[in-house]
Amino acid sequence: MARRIKFKSEVGRLLDIVIHSLYKHRDIFLRELISNSVDALNKLKFKQLQGEEIADGELEHRIDIKVDQNEKTIEIIDTGIGMTEDEIIENLGTIAHSGTKKFLELLDKKDNVTEELIGQFGVGFYSVFMVAEKVEVVSKSYLKDAYPVKWISEGKERFTVDTVEGEVKRGTSVKIYLKEDALEFLSESRIEAIVDRYSKFVPYPIYLNGRKLKQVKPLWLENPNSLKKEDYEEFYKYLTKSELKPLSYLHIYSDAPVDLKSIIYIPPFSLVKFGIEDDTGIRLYNRKVLIDEKTEELVPDYLRFLKGVVDSEDIQLNISRETIQNDPVVLRLKKTITSKFIKHLKDFLKKDRANYNLFFDEFGVYLKEGIVKDYPEKQDLAELLLFEYTDGNEKITLSEYLEKTDYKDSIYYIVGEDRKTIEKSPYLEQFYQKGVPVLILTQVLDETVIEHIGKFKEAEFKLITREDITLEKGEKAEKTIEEEDKKFLEKVKEILKDRIFDAVISTRLVKSPYCLVSQKNSPSSQMERMMNALNKFYVPSKKILEFNPSHPVYKNLKRFILNSNDKELKETLLNSIVDAAELSEGFLSDIPSSVERYNQLIERFLELDKK
């Protein structure tokens, strides 16, 4: 008995969006239906490889497109896995498998709908309603006891589901009753052009009114020397169901140490930045037979953004998801792909810096993750990192940094909230004066990355906000401290004992009167603030207050501290200096107390003015 069922609200909203937002790209409906047919055939082939019993097992794996000028219909038929009654309701009427919810979530973050998004989230079936007055889907599952079922909809609030009388073979047919303004799709040449544009790499034969259409062989099995850049770009569009071009690609064609035919792509951007999980990845094949749609085990986790195909005759056809992770062939494939891809990135960096910069902006965080998680390739990954630095607007590698400095045994870096604040930091004064570049790190993760690299080409990383960082050598670095200075520093330590670890004469300051530096081996101030935010019981380490002995502020401050009997003003003044030093780092540890001290100083200054 026929049943009338209401669409879920998300699907209803989706239908309205797709129908009205993609009018200029209506031909993608055929691309999406063919893609669905390919998925159905892939799933069937997998069932067969698993040894499952299949209904109508003699049927050829194929896709048929039938155009009827009289009925004004187009029908897309496949001999794939088919659907049961429950599956057809779930797949076409709810959000369970359609990806509708994710699609709608992304729409809330974007200003417009693009055809790339349609295929990206598996909601492409509904694009058929851009050209259809009515759609009839007839499907019969591969299961032996399955019966055929029909799904009918006009793209409105409800759809109808009913059983089908008579003999129906396994698979699915989608019959489209075209709208009057969509009759152009009754042209065979128009249909053939759409198939050629979107579906020429499909691994199953496609027939148009009984005539087999020309298709292209799987690109990864072709000799790389016979292919052009445009071939790789078109194949990427097919894989990702988009019209975007990859940033770069690597074609691996190798027989040893393991049989491997592969094309690996770097996508143009990361969906993760939009808060969307990326459902596409690297497909695993054996002689063009799909083994797994998204094989995460083929590359280390830090390369999970890659897309493409891997084909190996050494892979078992019946390998399961449970055993793939520890399969020795998969492990050899992973090692080979990783090694070749890192080499490719080094070539990419050297030969196409502009596009590599785009790549690093999108995916550099993944390479950093590989270093932090101590993957064996972390030193190779370190060579691929890009950093901002003080002497230019372009980012540089660690090797390029060492080429720019005379201090070959050290890589100096500073950590802060943003470049603008960092560039005015007193810690940089001696480096500006001597023309020594300093890496600028504005991401908290970067500091952890530096720690995990350890050394780079025998050069040690040095955080310039720590104590004992000076470019002076020998006697210049060991300035003689006068007795009067020692007394002053002792007074400062006594008054500020609750706020600082030590007070010393600076060898780094050039223009600024004072600054706060971290103790040796302590994390940066930015890292400590993050740790304090994560753990309220975390106590940041006390800093060292450094004074520039050549600055007028120091000389006048020393005279006042040593000669004045105004204890309260001494405390207020020195604490305000610590406040100012903190502020130069981009933060204040205690804003209310700082404001109170500031007001006290204003009050005392005005009292002096009266006198």
pLDDT, tens only, 551-578: 999 999 999 999 999 999 999 999 999 9
Torsion of CA 228, 234, 235, 241, to 10 degrees: 170
Token pair listed for 193: 């052009």
The stretch 461-468 carries a mean pLDDT of 91
Give 183's DSSP letter.
Answer: G
pTM comes to 0.68
The 3 state secondary structure assigned to 118-132 is HHHCCCHHHHHHHCE
Q: DSSP for 14-47?
A: HHHHHHHH-GGGTTHHHHHHHHHHHHHHHHHHHH
- Give the span between the Cα atoms of 572 and 401, in whole angstroms: 43
User: Regarding predicted confidence, which is higher, 287 or 317?
Assistant: 287
Judge contact between 151 and 161, C-beta under 8 A: yes
Q: Is the dihedral of CA 192, 194, 195, 197 positive or negative?
A: positive
User: Regarding predicted confidence, which is higher, 121 or 583?
Assistant: 583
- Reported residue count of the chain is 611
- Give the span between the Cα atoms of 136 and 88, in whole angstroms: 12
Backbone angles phi, psi at 365, to 5 degrees: -60, -30
Domains in the chain: ranges and CATH: 3-212 (3.30.565.10), 221-358 (3.30.230.80), 386-463 (3.40.50.11260), 479-610 (1.20.120.790)
**According to the model, what pLDDT value does residue 589 have?**
76
- Give the span between the Cα atoms of 258 and 97, in whole angstroms: 36
Q: Which residues contact residue 400 at a Cβ distance below 8 angstroms, ignoring those fewer than 6 apart?
A: none
Q: Which residues of 441-450 are buried (b: 16+ CB within 10 A; e: fewer)?
A: bbebebbebb
Average pLDDT in the chain: 87
- Give the span between the Cα atoms of 347 and 150, in whole angstroms: 54
The stretch 534-543 carries a mean pLDDT of 79
Token pair listed for 347: 């070539």
At residue 116, does pLDDT exceed 50? no
Q: Which residues of 131-155 are buried (b: 16+ CB within 10 A; e: fewer)?
A: bbeebbbbbbbbbeebebbbbbbeb
Q: Is the dihedral of CA 192, 195, 200, 201 positive or negative?
A: negative
| Residues pairing with 518 in the sheet | 466
Burial class (CB in 10 A: 0-12, 13-18, 19+), 384: buried
**Start-to-end CA span in the chain (Å):** 102
Token pair listed for 168: 């129906």
- Name the pLDDT band for 119 (thresholds 50, 70, 90): very low
- Give the span between the Cα atoms of 18 and 115, in whole angstroms: 9
User: Regarding predicted confidence, which is higher, 362 or 158?
Assistant: 362
Token pair listed for 352: 């196409």
**According to the model, what pLDDT value does residue 479 have?**
62
Helix 483-495, helix 552-563: angle, nearest 10? 70
The stretch 137-163 carries a mean pLDDT of 92
Token pair listed for 179: 């709208």
Judge contact between 383 and 398, C-beta under 8 A: yes
578-583: long-range pairs with CB below 8 Å, 24+: 578/496, 578/499, 578/500, 578/516, 578/545, 580/514, 581/514, 581/515, 581/516, 581/543, 581/545, 582/516
- Summarize the annotated binding site as residue ranges: 32, 36, 78, 83, 91, 98-99, 120-125, 172, 321
The stretch 14-34 carries a mean pLDDT of 73
At residue 477, does pLDDT exceed 60? no
At residue 539, does pLDDT exceed 80? no
**According to the model, what pLDDT value does residue 489 have?**
96
pLDDT digits (tens, 9 = 90+) for 395-436: 999 999 999 999 999 999 999 888 988 999 999 999 999 999
Q: How far, in Å, are 82, 262, 302, 307, 376 from residue 329 at the CA level?
A: 33, 15, 20, 20, 19
pLDDT digits (tens, 9 = 90+) for 168-216: 999 999 999 999 999 999 999 999 999 887 787 688 999 999 999 988 7
- Summarize the annotated binding site for ATP as residue ranges: 32, 36, 78, 83, 91, 98-99, 120-125, 172, 321
pLDDT digits (tens, 9 = 90+) for 576-594: 999 999 888 777 778 888 8
- Give the span between the Cα atoms of 337 and 308, in whole angstroms: 12
Q: Give Cα 563 to chain centroid, integer Å.
A: 60
pLDDT digits (tens, 9 = 90+) for 344-403: 999 999 999 999 999 999 999 999 999 999 889 999 999 999 999 998 889 999 999 999
- Name the pLDDT band for 115 (thresholds 50, 70, 90): very low
CB atoms within 10 A of CB 583: 12
Residue with tokens 């101030």: 525
CB atoms within 10 A of CB 35: 20
Judge contact between 561 and 535, C-beta under 8 A: no
| Residues pairing with 261 in the sheet | 253, 311
Backbone angles phi, psi at 235, to 5 degrees: -65, -35
- Number of continuous H segments (helices) and E segments (strands) in the chain: 19, 23
The stretch 52-70 carries a mean pLDDT of 96
- Give the span between the Cα atoms of 461 and 454, in whole angstroms: 7
Judge contact between 603 and 590, C-beta under 8 A: no
Backbone angles phi, psi at 67, to 5 degrees: -115, 125
